[in-house]
Chains A and B, each alone.
Chain A
Amino acid sequence: MTLALPGRPLPQPGHPVRFSPSERTLHSLRLRHPEAVPAAVVVGAWIALVLLGTGVPGVGASRPAGVPAGSMPGMAGMPGMTGMPGMAAAHPGTPWWSQALGGLPDWLLMVVAMMGPAALGGLRHTGINTLRWRRRRAMAEYAAAYLAVWAVFGAAVLGVMAVVPARLTGYPTLAVTLGGAAAWQLGILKRRSLRACHRSVPLPARGWPAERGALRFGWRNGLACVGSCWCLMLAMVAAPAGQLLWTAGLAVLVTAERWVERPRRVTRGAAPLLGLAAVGAAAAALV
């Protein structure tokens, strides 16, 4: 693979033009770590979330005036959220499906930031097990299928939130979702889903089988990821304020579950913490 440098002569047979040390380092990095570019995308997603959440002038047009900093883009203006701290006024008369679809871009931005670190393993596997000339396409296919699963889940969640009455949202909902998340952490379905996150599928080398293989891998990984993390995502969505902090905290948990050598310690260790948070949310609801 040639690094494009202006003025650099193309190598001719018998007249080798050798890599400079810096070229060799960069080239080696790209070959050994195909997940480097997706990792940069994840970092960019976090920067976008922070800027949108803090209302930097010129950025974060999706956050209407009056919405406090730390509120998630896309969560503002949803029906049923009137009067909630961190949420802007609802838009009466807007169909629920319109609000669900309208919130999807911000939802996907949040998914990229929150789930991206955990998905880097699958992206790396796809990259190093694909012919180099189609590596970027294969990794993009994996990412597209992975995000498609989360988009379907997100559309369902946003659609439900659009029709839930305001009196049922807020701290009571947060308490219920946190309690459910704590219980899910201890269940066998969570464990099976987390194990499924580490399964790979055969990746054919060329042609339509190769395209289907990358898409299938991303889809299956996405399904396993949703199965493992759906309760945590609901808790994050249900938080009436400070979603950025919730996103960051839950992203650390999700990433730790995927990366550490002893995942059950993390999964089971998070359960009492989520339970305590549920108690705290319930107490806040009574105040």
Chain B
Amino acid sequence: MSPAPPAWPSPWPARPDTSPPPVGGGELTRHLVGATQQPLRLVGDTVHTTVDIDARATAELEGEARRGAYHARAFLDLDDLEADRNPGAVYGVYLNLPDDPSETDLAAHHIGNVSLFGIERARNPRGDEHAHGLHVSMEITGLLDRMAADGSWRDGDHLDVAFRPLTLEAPPGQPELAAQLADTGHPDLPITVGRVSVHLA
């Protein structure tokens, strides 16, 4: 049996002591515990937003956990991603990133990437299929466990989410290429992130 996972700060519900059920052994029921109130606009700069965790929602899950329900996996979802066209930009998504992060911090707090490949066809499919929005879901259980274990995560009421544009590094000695790659702006093709939400499953 695996060791008990570290406790997450209040108001997150208590973690079960037993090992998690095998992945794929049953359908997970996800419960919304927090979401942003306003859409985000990405135009090539780093953007921060805060997801407020709802204490009433987590209290309900705490009550269920005492009745044997299992809620131990957390997910961060990006809902209703919209843009007129794919701007070609890719954003790294980071959780509770420190101010002025080092490369080590970026690697440690990175939870996934988001791009808008396929946005045009999602809303207007060529074939005979229904339109759909773009939606990205990233599991954050491991990162939350690490942050709780090393004590860097004490405020359970909020999660800070950062979107940083990713680009390539130019080889040494090519300043023009480096400057070109550093220009990640796409103000004419903004990306709208309708909602950033956190779920517990």
Which residues on A are within 8 Å of B, measured CB to CB?
1-2, 11, 13, 16-19, 28, 31-32, 128-133, 194-196, 198-207, 209, 261-265
Contacts and interface: CB of A to CB of B under 8 A. Distances in A.
Contacts of B32: 128-132, 205
Contact of A1 (B36, B54, B60): B60
Contacts of A19: 67-69
A18 B66 CA distance: 7
A131 B38 CA distance: 16
A209 B37 contact: yes
A132 B60 contact: yes
A129 B79 CA distance: 10
A31 B29 contact: yes
A197 to B, nearest CB: 8
Contact of A204 (B27, B64, B124, B195): B195
Contacts of B35: 203-205
Interface of B: 27, 29-39, 52, 54, 56-57, 60, 63-64, 66-69, 79-80, 123-125, 128-133, 194-195, 197
A8 B167 CA distance: 59
B200 to A, nearest CB: 11
A16 B131 contact: no
Nearest to B51: A205
A17 B65 CA distance: 10
A257 to B, nearest CB: 10
A38 B30 CA distance: 20
Contacts of B30: 128
B133 A200 contact: yes
B66 A11 contact: yes
A262 B54 contact: no
A16 B194 contact: no
21 contacts: A1-B60, A11-B67, A13-B66, A17-B66, A17-B67, A31-B31, A129-B197, A132-B31, A132-B60, A133-B57, A196-B131, A198-B132, A200-B133, A202-B79, A202-B194, A203-B35, A203-B79, A206-B37, A209-B38, A261-B129, A264-B128
A11 B63 contact: yes
A32 B68 CA distance: 17
Nearest to A2: B63
Nearest to A204: B37
Nearest to A202: B194
Contacts of A202: 39, 79-80, 194-195
Nearest to A121: B130
B67 A205 contact: no
A207 B36 CA distance: 12
A220 to B, nearest CB: 12
A270 to B, nearest CB: 14
Contacts of A265: 128
B57 A132 contact: yes
A16 B129 contact: no
Nearest to B198: A205
Contacts of B125: 195
A32 B27 contact: yes
Central interface residue in A132, A202, A264, by most chain B CB within 10 Å: A202
Central interface residue in A19, A31, A32, A131, by most chain B CB within 10 Å: A131
A209 B57 CA distance: 18
A108 B145 CA distance: 51
Given A28-B29, A128-B30, A129-B32, A201 B56 contact: no
Contacts of A263: 128-130
Contacts of B129: 261-263
B25 to A, nearest CB: 15
B201 to A, nearest CB: 11
Nearest to B52: A205
A254 B9 CA distance: 48
Nearest to A1: B60
Contact of A131 (B29, B57, B67, B123): B57
B80 A201 contact: yes
B197 A131 contact: no
A165 B41 CA distance: 55
Given A195-B123, A202-B194, A207-B37, A16 B66 contact: yes
A215 B123 CA distance: 22
B11 to A, nearest CB: 13
B29 A206 contact: no
Given A1-B64, A203-B35, A205-B52, 20 more contacts: A1-B60, A11-B63, A13-B66, A18-B68, A19-B68, A32-B29, A128-B30, A128-B32, A130-B32, A195-B124, A195-B125, A198-B130, A199-B123, A202-B39, A204-B37, A205-B35, A205-B54, A206-B52, A209-B37, A261-B129
